[in-house]
Amino acid sequence: MTFKPFCNIRTYTKLFIISFFSVLTIFSSPVFALEKVILQLEWKHQFEFAGFYAAKAQGYYQQAGLDVDIKERNETTDMLQDVLTGKATYGVASAQIIIDRVNNYPVVLLASYFKQNALALVTHPSIKTPHDLIGKRAMIGRGDLRKTAVGLLLQEKNVPVDRITQVPHGFNAQDFIDGKVDAMSVFVSNELFEIEQSGIAYNLINPAEYGVYSLDVNLFSSEIEVDNNPDRVRRFLEASKKGWQYALAHKEEIVDLILKGYSNRKSKAALLFEAQKTEELIKPELYEIGSISPEIVEFTKNRYSRLNALPNKSLGKKFIFSGTQSNPIELTEEEQQYLDKKQQLTMCVDPDWMPYEKIENGKHVGLSADFIKLFSKKINIPIKLIPSSTWMESLALGKQRKCDIFSLVMATPDREKFLDFTQPYLTFPLVVATGHEQIYVPDIKSILNKKLGIQKGYAYAELLRLQYPEINLVEVDSLKAGLDLVNKKQLFGMVSSLPGVAYAFQKSYVGELKIAGKLDQMWQLGVGTRNDEPLLMSVFNKAINRMSENERQDITNRWIAINYELGTDYTMLIRVLAVISVIFCIFIYYHLKLKKYNRILEHQSVTDKLTGIFNRIKLDYQLEHSLDLAVRYKQAFSIILLDIDYFKRVNDEHGHLVGDYGLKEVAKLLQDNIRSVDTLGRWGGEEFLIICPEPSRESAAILAEKLREVIGNYKFNH
C-alpha cells in the first residue's frame, strides 16, 4: 500500500527547517542543537521514575543542552545490551547492574536513588518470619531469588528455596488477595496499594528490617559514554537531580503529569501512594539525592557474588562515576609532584574584554575570573595574575614564558607555537554588529568585500584570514573602538562574540546599532597552558571535567544577560513568520498523518488479523530474543504450545464463520488469563503459543493446566 501524500515529506521538512532557522539566526537567541539522549527505564511509566519526568517537564534537561527521550520497558527490551550498544544512552536498573559488572560488562554506576530495597514479601498473617515460608505457596519470580534483597534474605536465613512452592508471578496482587497463594514478592510502592485497598490482613517481610540492604533505581551507562562524554553525563545527572527535588516537592503535579503524558495504567490514588513510598525509599532528609556510597556498593557486591556463586572480584575504579562523589580531582603522582614544586601558577588575561574578563584596580574580574577561582580550588593551588595593559602585551608575556596559563583563550596556529589548549569550557557564536540601516547578514561570505572590524590579536582575525584570504578585516584596539567606527559609518560591521557585543550594547549604543547576523563560526574558549610544561594541560582538563553543570550555569548566569531583541525589524519578521507558519502547518499535518499510518502499519505487521493477538512473525522474533537472554544470563524460559481439539470437524460441520468465532473466543480467554509479562500469539491455524519469561517447567505446567480448565469451562454461544 502506497501513501502518495508523503512522497515529498523530505522536501517539506527541508523547506521548513531552512526557513525557520534562517529567521531564528536573526531574531532570537543563539540556538545550540540539543544533544539527543535516550533513557531506558526498567519498568513501565510510574512514579518510580518521577524525577526524570519532572526534569523534562520543567526544562532542566533542555537547560543542560539535552533532548531526553524516556522509554518504558516492553517485552523486547534488553536494557543492558541497549545501553552497551548505544541504542540507549542511560538505563535505570536494580542491583542486577552490580552482577553485570562482576560478569565483566563495561557498565558504570552514575547514581543510586533508592537508598533501601523496594522489593519485599507480603505474606498471610500467619507467616511472620522467612522460615515460615517453608512449605507455603509463594508467587516469586525466579529472578527475585538471585538478583534481589529477597534472595539475599532467604540465603542469610538459611531458607531452602526448593522447599517453597513457587507460583508464576502475575505482577498483580489479585491471587494473593483471593488466597490462591500464601506469599508474594511486591514492590512496596506498587502492589502493596492493591492489597491495602482490599482490606485484607497481611504481614510484610521486608529485607531491610533484617539488615539486608540493596541499592535500587540505579542510573547507569556504558564506559564508552562516560569516557567520551563526561560533561554530558554530568549535565544529565545535575538536571535529573533537580528533577527529583522538584518531583518530591510537587508529588500531585507530577502524578497528573504521568497520567496525562505517560501512562494511565495506574489510578491517581495508586500513584499518590507510590509517590509517598518513593520518598520514603529515597530518604532525601538523610542522603543527597542520587549519591553513591562505595562501601554499600562493595558490601552489596560481596553478598550478590555469594548468592549467585560468582567470583568475588573487584568492581574496578571505573564502576562508580567519579562525578557523583565529592572526592578531589584524582591527579597522577607526576602531576601532583609538578604542582607541589610550582607552589603557585602565573596567569595572563585580556585586560579589557568584558563580560569575559578585565583587570580592574589590579584584580582579575569577570566571567573567566570566577571560573579560574573554581579551577584553583579544584586543583588546590593559588593562581597569581600577571598585569598587562593590552591583549597584545599579554600574548607577548606568554611567549616570554612569564605566564603559566591564559585564563580564556582560543587555539590558533600561531598560538600553538607557545601554548597547549584544554577542552573548551565556554562556547559562544560569532556575530556581526552593524548600523540599523544594514540588512540581515546570512553568513560571512556575503560580506567578504565589506570593511569589517576585529580586535587586534584575537584568534578569529587569524582564523578568518586563513579561511577567507579575500576578507577585508580592519584590526582595532578594542571592541568599543570598533563599534564606534561602525557607528560613524567608517566600518560596515564589527565581528565579535555575542556576549561581548551584547554587553557593549547594554553599556552604550542603545538604539544605534544592532546584531545583523549570527555567523557559522563558534568562539570556543578554554584554558591556554604553556607548552613547555605539558602536565599543566592535563591538570586543567581534569579540573574542567570535574566542573558540574550547576557550577557552570551559576557563573555564566551571573555575568551574561543578553537582550536578544536588539535591532529587530518587526515588519520583516511578521512577513517571514507568516510564510513559515503556513509551511509549518503543512509540515505538521503531513508529519502527523505519516506517524498515524506508520503506527497502523507497524501494528498490522505483527498482529494476527483474525484474533487480534501477535502473529507468527512477532512470535519468531520474541523466541529469538528470549533465547538470546537465556544464553547470556543462563536463565530459563518456558513455552506453552496448545491447539484446539476437533477444530477441523467444527469447520466441516458448522462452517468457517463458526470456526473463526471459536478462534477469537479462545484467543480472548488466553489473553485474559496470562500474565502481563507473557507473550501470546497465534502460531498457525488452531495453534497458539505462549512465551513465559523466567518461570520453571513446573510453573509453566501449572499455568497451562489453568488455561485448559478456563477454556474447558467456557460456554461458547454457537
Read off the pLDDT of residues 550-603 as tens digits, 9 standing for 90 and up: 677 778 877 875 433 333 444 455 666 666 777 777 777 777 777 777 777 777
580 in a domain, yes or no? no
Residues 87 and 61 in one domain: yes
Residues 135 and 229 in one domain: no
Read off the pLDDT of residues 535-560 as tens digits, 9 standing for 90 and up: 999 999 888 888 876 677 778 877 87
Helix intervals (H) in 28-106? 50-57, 60-63, 79-84, 96-102
Per-residue pLDDT at 3 exceeds 60: no
Query: b/e per residue, 627-660, with b = 16+ CB within 10 A?
Result: eebeeebeeebbebebebeebeebbeeeeeeebe
pLDDT computed for residue 5 by the predictor: 40
Residues 84 and 228 in one domain: yes
Q: How far out from the chain centre does Cα 142 lie?
A: 30
Q: Which amino acid does the sequence have at 485? A: L
Per-residue pLDDT at 324 exceeds 70: no
**Number of other CB atoms surrounding residue 613 within 10 Å:** 22
Read off the pLDDT of residues 48-104 as tens digits, 9 standing for 90 and up: 999 999 999 999 999 999 999 999 988 788 889 999 999 999 999 988 888 889 888
Domain-ending residue, one of 323, 351, 376:
323
pLDDT computed for residue 291 by the predictor: 85
514 in a domain, yes or no? no
pLDDT computed for residue 168 by the predictor: 80
Q: For residue 697, give the CATH number of its domain.
A: 3.30.70.270
Read off the pLDDT of residues 411-468 as tens digits, 9 standing for 90 and up: 888 889 999 999 888 877 788 989 888 888 888 888 888 899 998 877 778 878 888 8
Gap between the Cα atoms of 398 and 646, Å rounded: 93
Gap between the Cα atoms of 314 and 96, Å rounded: 16
For the residues 695-705, what does the mean pLDDT come to? 79
**Number of other CB atoms surrounding residue 507 within 10 Å:** 10
**Number of other CB atoms surrounding residue 131 within 10 Å:** 12
Q: Is the dihedral of CA 363, 364, 369, 373 positive or negative?
A: negative
Residues 651 and 692 in one domain: yes
For 520, phi and psi rounded to 5 degrees?
A: -70, -25
Per-residue pLDDT at 14 exceeds 60: no
Domain-ending residue, one of 194, 210, 226:
210
Residues 81 and 124 in one domain: no
pLDDT computed for residue 212 by the predictor: 72
Q: For residue 181, give the CATH number of its domain.
A: 3.40.190.10
For the residues 498-526, what does the mean pLDDT come to? 79
For the residues 631-642, what does the mean pLDDT come to? 81
Per-residue pLDDT at 326 exceeds 60: no
Residues 195 and 63 in one domain: no
**Helix orientation angle between 479-487 and 498-507, rounded to the nearest 10 degrees:** 70
Cell numbers 532557522 label which residue?
21
Helix intervals (H) in 402-534? 459-467, 479-487, 498-507
Q: How far out from the chain centre does Cα 687 lie?
A: 42
609 in a domain, yes or no? no
Indicate the helix (H) or strand (E) that contains 475. Answer: strand 473-476
Q: Which amino acid does the sequence have at 124? A: H
Work out the mean pLDDT of the chain and round it to a whole number. Answer: 83
640 in a domain, yes or no? yes
Cell numbers 502473529 label which residue?
615
Read off the pLDDT of residues 135-193 as tens digits, 9 standing for 90 and up: 999 888 766 666 677 887 888 788 888 888 888 877 778 888 989 999 998 888 888 88
Residues 193 and 219 in one domain: no
539 in a domain, yes or no? no
Per-residue pLDDT at 330 exceeds 80: no
Residues 38 and 149 in one domain: no
Instruction: Quote helix, strand, coil % in the chain, to nearest 5.
Output: 45, 20, 35
pLDDT computed for residue 556 by the predictor: 81
pLDDT computed for residue 695 by the predictor: 58
- In the chain, count H helices and then E strands: 27, 25
pLDDT computed for residue 142 by the predictor: 63
180 in a domain, yes or no? yes
Gap between the Cα atoms of 562 and 521, Å rounded: 19
Farthest-apart Cα atoms in the chain, separation: 104
Domain-ending residue, one of 210, 232, 254:
210
**Three-state SS at 165:** strand
**Which range (131-135, 142-146, 624-628, 690-694) has the least confidence?**
142-146
**Three-state SS at 270:** helix
Helix intervals (H) in 283-390? 294-307, 333-342, 367-379
Residues 185 and 274 in one domain: no
**Three-state SS at 178:** coil
558 in a domain, yes or no? no
**Structural domains of the chain, count:** 3
Residues 151 and 231 in one domain: no
Gap between the Cα atoms of 283 and 375, Å rounded: 32
Residues 88 and 130 in one domain: no
**Which range (448-457, 564-573, 655-664, 680-689) has the least confidence?**
564-573
Q: Which amino acid does the sequence have at 644? A: I
Host domain of residue 90:
31-112+215-323
- Choose among 191, 33, 24, 53: nearest CA to 118: 191
Indicate the helix (H) or strand (E) that contains 142. Answer: none
The answer for 137, left when phi > 0, alpha when psi is -120 to 50, beta otherwise, is beta
363 in a domain, yes or no? no
Side-chain half-sphere exposure of 565, counting CA atoms within 13 A: 1
Residues 73 and 107 in one domain: yes
Q: Do 203 and 127 form a contact (C-beta atoms < 8 A)?
A: yes
For the residues 318-322, what does the mean pLDDT come to? 85
Q: What is the dihedral of CA 229, 234, 237, 239, to 10 degrees?
A: -110
**Which range (102-116, 130-144, 526-540) has the least confidence?**
130-144
